Structure 1
Amino acid sequence: MFRRFILGAVASAPMLAAMAGAAHAQAMSPDAAKSFITQSGDKLVAIVNGPGSQSQKASQLRDLVNQIVDVDQVGDYVLGRYINVATPAQKQQFQSLFHQLLSYNITYQIKAYQGVSFTVNSAAPQGNNVLVDTTVTAPGKAPADVGWVVQDESGQPKIIDVIVAGTSLRITTRNDYAGVITDNGGQVSALLKAMQGQINKIGNQ
């Protein structure tokens, strides 16, 4: 459940060496990345623990995610090599479904993490990116070490991956998505159908 919440809150949501080679990425300082994650974490916690209905909080979190996460880049990454197979229409549909799934995951997990706290520990360069180590704690759950990979996007810091228990969430998601496509004869349409089915299932809960 924690992994799903984190993926929903930032996406996915997913490595370190591979993403260091992004052509448009610029090197950023660990201090700048640490400050960004501190501010972002404070905003996330304030929304989850603050007043308002679940739908109001979900809307606020979606807005926050769109500000601090490069959702489109993460989406392209998790589609992986199949981005070269998908038609333009399929790519557009995939990004739309990916955004919807993040929104649904955010909404679904809010209640479970009421009372969440967030502590920023350290930051270290990873190629052109910075890995910021944090501890996330929620009532009734053991503290979790969570790493946030931050990239400079034209002067603006953006989260492009989350590391939970040493595992990249966007790599995990990419492998899961590739498995669906591979199991269905390499058809990207099968993944789109599965994603839409997941959205429909969550919406009916």
Structure 2
Amino acid sequence: MFRRSLLATAMATPALLALGARPARAEMDITRAASFIETTGQELVAVINANQAVAQRRQRVAAVLRKAVDVDGVGRFILGRWWRTASPAEQQEYMKLFEETLIRNLSARFGEYEGVRFSLGRSQQRTEDDALVNTIIERPNSAAFSLDWRVGDVGGQPKVVDVIAEGTSLRLTQRSEYSAVISRNGGKVAPLLDAMRNQIAQLAAREGR
């Protein structure tokens, strides 16, 4: 029921220099976002292609993703208006479950394959605050697939704030699904937490741990 989707980074300046300074600055921001995704992608590829058991590779993939993704920001965005109605204990539990759900889902997408190759596609400025970096993931005996990473500046560091697969945004899809669960249960967050626990149990069973 809950799936995928996470990205963003940028800045700009004012007017008379708009013909020169603004484009140069935007270009620098795109370059920064693309460089960050390339570094993160190569880290993932090195881990995925390591000569280790699948479980070990998944754990290492998870560590790379935790470092690269703005888990707190994405998690709060996805819960949306329901964040304010959740109790402090529910907020804390939600963030813990969300991180595990997100990292397990993304790790499963990458962590089971060897011989993976990763290349950058086109980057584009989205707003003054974010950029979108396209990547192509190639796996043995499977069709290559495209992922777009939205990269933003979080505390002065580039972070993934959304992942877009097949035109579908992870965080918008999750936000809609999570909100639907809460709405069906009278605006209560607790049933969503139960559903997230069940999902984690299913993912763990599928992974054999």
For the superposition of Structure 1 and Structure 2, which TM-score range results when normalised by the shorter chain?
0.7 to 0.9
By how many angstroms is 1:165 displaced? 1.4
Counterpart contact for 1:58–1:103, Cα < 8 Å = no
CA distance in 2, matches of 1:103, 1:37: 17
Residue 48 of structure 1 is matched in structure 2 by 48
Q: 1:147 to 1:110 in 2, by over 3 A?
A: closer
Show the 5 A alignment for 1:126-137. Answer: 126-127=126-127, 128-137=129-138
CA distance in 1, matches of 2:39, 2:49: 15
CA distance in 1, matches of 2:135, 2:60: 22
Unaligned stretches of 5+ residues in structure 1: 21-26
CA distance in 2, matches of 1:159, 1:151: 6
What letter corresponds to residue 136 of structure 1 in structure 2?
A: I
CA distance in 1, matches of 2:146, 2:104: 24
Counterpart contact for 2:66–2:103, Cα < 8 Å = no
CA distance in 2, matches of 1:88, 1:141: 44
Q: Taking structure 1 as the reference length, what is the TM-score of the superposition?
A: 0.82
What letter corresponds to residue 135 of structure 1 in structure 2?
A: I
SS of residue in 1 equivalent to 2:81: helix
Residue 141 of structure 2 is matched in structure 1 by 140
Counterpart contact for 1:120–1:133, Cα < 8 Å = yes
- Percent of residue pairs identical: 38
Structure number, greater radius of gyration: 2
By how many angstroms is 1:171 displaced? 0.5
Q: Taking structure 2 as the reference length, what is the TM-score of the superposition?
A: 0.81
| RMSD after superposition | 2.4
Residue 93 of structure 1 is matched in structure 2 by 93
By how many angstroms is 1:36 displaced? 0.7
What letter corresponds to residue 113 of structure 1 in structure 2?
A: Y
Unaligned stretches of 5+ residues in structure 2: 11-25
Q: 1:97 to 1:85 in 2, by over 3 A?
A: same
Question: How many pairs align?
Answer: 188
CA distance in 1, matches of 2:110, 2:132: 25
- Please say if 1:125 is aligned against 2:121: no
Structure 1 residues 101-148: Cα deviation after superposition (integer angstroms, max 9, x where no partner): 134335544564332211102211111101011111222322222111
